[in-house]
Amino acid sequence: MSDIMSEERSERSDGRIVKMEIDYSSTVDQRLPECEKMAKEGKLQEAIESLLSLEKQTRTASDMVSTSRILVAVVQMCYEAKDWDALNENIMLLTKRRSQLKQAVAKMVQECYKYVDTMTDLTIKLRLIDTLRTVTAGKNIRIMAKYYTRITMKRMAGLLDLSIDESEDFLSNLVVNKTIYAKVDRLAGIINFQRPKDPNDLLNDWSHKLNSLMSLVNKTTHLIAKEEMIHNLQ
């Protein structure tokens, strides 16, 4: 029962929990063999484009299982074709897709970790490791931005198991891509994830607090007057 529930509900990159709207499993069952055949015939880019088109539909419909199958299939085809540029580029591309499903990305990353040990070319291996590191560091930072108001650069680097300079590079990329909001105080070494409030929101907040205060004052005044009236009657 819990497995069924986990397939129906998934989490997007922005933290929202969503429920599957359309089940694309039968469409994926049909499309995957066709694309795998194209890739083996040397038409890798055509196969990937076909899957990316379907991935947009499965992702939009919050079909986590189908999206996962597509993401894994894309990296598998790149790996089997030994197209290392396409492998690294598509890992980054699929991770950054709008409102991507976290579980789908996790399954793709797990698949890619299998490839690292099989690679004999050190340059290719290190590039893939760097790509996977970038993807996973970007996730771990998005979680911090969601649950922390602010954090020291040293603490963030420790949680990511990276140097301070590397952590700042990852953070800067996420801010530039508008994945998260963050403001860095380099002198103090503090990162602030709290987005400044709009002036209108501040005014509305102040007005609400003032109304609450006046309501409390009026209620207190009424109670005091009531007590004085009772006291005078006695």
Domain extent for 135: 2-146
Rounded Cα gap, residues 102 and 137, in angstroms? 13
Instruction: Name the band, by pLDDT with cuts 50, 70 and 90, for residue 211.
Output: confident
Closest CA to 7 of 54, 61, 43: 61
Q: Average pLDDT for residues 132-136, to the nearest whole number?
A: 84
Question: Is the pLDDT reported for residue 14 higher than 70?
Answer: no
Both 92 and 189 in a single domain? no
Task: Write down the pLDDT at residue 1.
Answer: 44
Same domain? 189 vs 82: no
CB 181 within 8 A of CB 145: yes
Q: Which residues fall within 8 angstroms of residue 51, CB to CB, at 6 or more apart?
A: 31, 32, 35, 70, 73, 74
Whether 168 and 90 map to the same domain: the answer is: no
pLDDT band at 92 (very low <50, low <70, confident <90, very high): very high
Same domain for 154 and 66: no
User: What is the distance between the alpha carbons of residues 180 and 35, in angstroms, rounded to a whole number?
Assistant: 35
What's the mean pLDDT in 165-176? 84
Q: What is the mean pLDDT of residues 71-91?
A: 96
Instruction: Mark whether 167 and 121 lie in a shared domain.
Output: no
The pTM of the full predicted model, rounded to 2 decimals, is: 0.66
Label residue 31 by pLDDT band (50, 70, 90): very high
Is position 218 within any domain?
no
Task: Output 124 or 224, whichever has higher pLDDT.
Answer: 124
> Count of domains in the chain?
2
Can you tell me the mean pLDDT for 83-101?
A: 91
Assess whether pLDDT exceeds 60 at residue 192. yes
Q: Report if residue 210 sits inside a domain.
A: no
CATH number of the CATH domain containing 156: 1.10.10.10
pLDDT beyond 70 at 180? yes
Instruction: Give Rg (Cα) of the chain.
Output: 26
The closest of 94, 62, 67, 64 to 78, measured between CA atoms, is 94
Return the pLDDT at 208. 79
**Is residue 17 domain-shared with residue 117, that is, in the same domain?**
yes
Quick one: pLDDT band at residue 64, thresholds 50, 70, 90?
A: very high
Rounded Cα gap, residues 206 and 164, in angstroms: 39
The 3-class secondary structure across the chain, one letter per residue, is CHHHHHHHEEEECCCCEEECCCCCHHHHHHHHHHHHHHHHCCCHHHHHHHHHHHHHHHHHCCCHHHHHHHHHHHHHHHHHCCCHHHHHHHHHHHHHCCCCEHHHHHHHHHHHHHHHHHCCCHHHHHHHHHHHHHHHHHHHHHHHHHHCCEEEHHHHHHHHCCCHHHHHHHHHHHHHCCCCCCEEECCCCEEECCCCCCHHHHHHHHHHHHHHHHHHHHHHHHHHHHHHHHHHHC
